[in-house]
Chain A
Amino acid sequence: MAEIQQKADSGGKGGKKRAKKMSTKIDMTPMVDLAFLLLTFFMLTTTFSKPTVMQVTMPVKPDPKDPEPPAIKASNAFTILMGENNKVYYYDGLLSSDTKPELKLSNYGPDGIRKELLQRRSNKDLVVLIKPDDKAQYKNMVDILDEMNITGQKKYALVDISKADEDLIKSSGL
């Protein structure tokens, strides 16, 4: 409320007429209550954090005119097979008709496949071949790609699983 201070007419002697002093202050408490209520509401509902993304760059489709890329040496290959029920298998080297590498079972935990990847980190030319099974879950694929980021593995490829790999899983009985 805007105040106009009325000057009391001081002419009169006897009556001590004082101007009725009205306070300039208004009670702001309800307004503050409301303001903070709104503040809390907007602070809690606002979504600042955008979801994170994991960038995956797939190789460019090879031009038929380009020369064939050199084959990976068996000593530099490390294959990860992703099966159903969150199972993950791995083997060193490449699978061919005459060599059957030893298949091992692992898991997605910190003591699982990550340990194996870290052990092989000394090999700078290591190429990790990631082969998801048809029954593998998408979560597993993200997990494995994430392991690549965690362990700093630069060379990896997402490859389709071959019949031989599937047979290897079956015959290993793991």
Chain B
Amino acid sequence: MPKVKPHRTSPSLDMTPMVDLAFLLVTFFMLTTKFSPEEAVVVDTPSSTSELRLPESNVITISVDKDKRVFFGFDSDKAKPKLLDYVAAKRGVSFTPQQRAEFANLQSFGVPVEQLGSFLNVEREQRKSIKQPGIPADSLNNQITDWVVEAQRANREAIGKPAYIAIKGDGNADVPTVRKIIKFLQDKNINRFNLITDLETKPTALK
């Protein structure tokens, strides 16, 4: 009778499938990840039970911080250079090619259009230390409306549909500032707004 040899299993196990999977996931996350853009201003949004999500691109963001400063941001690669041209033409300001290139990288800003050129000349790292006064938004010098209206126009020409307008207000911002912006835009026949909020769970027990 042949001796039955005890089957020796090697202590090392085949890790190949696991490595495959791990690298697959790494690749996936590396490609999908999008680092959150740096914001010009800290805005602590209030929470609501709304479950609608903000779209990825073509979003005009109007931020209002707790000091009533108004910031404008526009997320669109195609329409952004045009936007600067339109606003510059409307306000009688001109920008150098370098400033225009910088503007394309600017996420959001809060300086009057007259100061935008010199603001864009500043190195990106140093910009953070500049205290931005906010975009003028009153009936005398209503620049925020110009920015929004021109952004809509640029977006319509570039993509064929209007951009999404999102208002990002700080929880401690006051209502009159936000209402004022809404009113200005209503005057321009822009009636649909989206208030950016944090998600909060919906209360279940409703009697």
Seen from chain A, the residues whose Cβ lies within 8 Å of a Cβ on chain B are 25, 28-29, 31-32, 35-36, 38-39, 42-43, 45-47, 49-61, 82, 110, 114, 118, 132-143, 145-146, 149-151, 158, 160
Q: Are A149 and B45 in contact (CB under 8 A)?
A: no
CB-nearest residue of chain A relative to B23? A35
Which B residues are closer than 8 A to A by beta carbons? Answer: 12, 15-16, 18-19, 22-23, 25-26, 29-30, 32-36, 45-56, 64, 166, 169-179, 182, 186-187, 189, 191-200, 202-203, 206-207
Assess the A132–B175 pair: CB atoms within 8 A: yes
The reply to whether B53 and A50 contact each other, CB–CB distance below 8 Å, is: yes
Sample of 6 A–B contacts (CB below 8 Å) = A29-B15, A35-B19, A47-B34, A52-B197, A58-B182, A134-B176
Q: Is the CB of A139 within 8 A of B171?
A: yes
Secondary structure dominating the interface of B = mixed
Contact among B19, B53, B172, B176 for A53, CB-based, below 8 A:
B53
Q: How far is the CA of A134 from the CA of B176 in the complex (A)?
A: 6
Find the A residue at minimum CB distance from B167.
A56
Q: What CA separation (Å) do A32 and B14 show in the bound complex?
A: 12
Chain B positions within 8 Å of A55 at CB level: 50, 52, 192-195
Query: How many angstroms between the C-alpha atoms of A66 and B10 in the bound complex?
Result: 87
Name the residue of chain B whose CB is nearest to the CB of A152.
B206
A39 touches B50 (CB 8 A): no
* Complex contacts, A141 vs chain B, CB 8 Å: 175, 178
With A52-B198, A60-B189, A141-B175 as known contacts, state yes or no: A150 contacts B49, CB within 8 Å.
yes
Q: A35-B23, A142-B46, A142-B169 are in contact. List 15 more A-B contacts (CB 8 A).
A: A25-B12, A28-B16, A45-B33, A50-B56, A51-B54, A52-B199, A53-B50, A53-B54, A56-B192, A133-B175, A137-B175, A139-B46, A142-B47, A145-B195, A150-B202
> For B33, what are the chain A residues with a Cβ–Cβ distance below 8 Å?
42, 45-47
> In the assembled complex, which residues on chain A have CB atoms less than 8 Å from the CB atom of B47?
142
Indicate if the CB atoms of B175 and A52 lie closer than 8 Å: no
The CA of A132 and the CA of B50, in the complex, are separated in Å by 21
For the complex, what is the distance from the CA of A87 to the CA of B39, rounded to whole Å? Answer: 31
Given contacts A45-B35, A57-B191, A60-B191, contact A52 B174 (CB under 8 A): no
Which residues of chain B are within 8 angstroms of A60 by Cβ–Cβ distance? 189, 191
Separation of A51 and B195 alpha carbons in the complex (Å): 10
Contact between B179 and A132 (Cβ–Cβ < 8 Å)?
A: yes
Interface contact A39-B196, CB-CB below 8 Å: no
Tell me the nearest residue of chain A to B166, going by C-beta: A53
Return B203 CB to nearest CB of chain A, in Å: 6
Decide: B51 and A52 in contact? CB cutoff 8 A. yes
A29 to B35, CA, bound (A): 29
Contacting residues, chain B, for A136 (C-beta < 8 A) = 174-175
> Within 8 Å CB of B35, what residues of A?
45, 47
**A52 contact from B53, B64, B170, Cβ within 8 A:** B53
